[in-house]
């Protein structure tokens, strides 16, 4: 599904190279807003959207099965993005 994924040097973007050769660059802010973990879903239900701090960065990436767990500079570490969902987010841009 993917050839590689990495945070940018400034940690504000995730770059994904898909096995079909396409390249996606997703901002940390966009990923944080679109997280589907329970905490983020609850925040959307309560406030209409996920609040994202200016300058949010990616502080860690851990591949988990067919996805990646992204850690953010706001302390949020529960966001797991299955690769099909990352592709969907890429195509929305």
CATH class for the region spanning 2-92? alpha beta
Question: How many Cα neighbours within 13 Å face the side chain of 18?
Answer: 14
pLDDT per residue, tens digit, the chain (93 aa), is 899 999 999 999 999 999 999 999 999 999 999 999 999 999 999 999 999 999 999 999 999 999 999 999 999 999 999 999 999 999 998
- pLDDT of 59: 98
Distance CA 18, CA 42 (A): 31
Distance CA 19, CA 40 (A): 29
pTM as predicted: 0.95
């Amino acid at each position: 599904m993917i050839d590689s994924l990495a945070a940018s040097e400034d940690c504000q973007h995730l770059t994904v190279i898909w096995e079909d050769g396409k390249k996606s660059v997703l901002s940390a802010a966009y990923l944080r807003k679109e997280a589907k973990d329970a905490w983020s879903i609850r925040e959307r239900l309560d406030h209409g959207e996920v609040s994202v701090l200016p300058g949010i960065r990616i502080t860690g990436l851990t591949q988990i099965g067919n996805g990646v767990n992204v850690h953010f500079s706001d302390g949020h570490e529960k966001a797991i993005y299955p690769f099909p969902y990352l592709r969907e987010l890429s195509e929305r841009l």
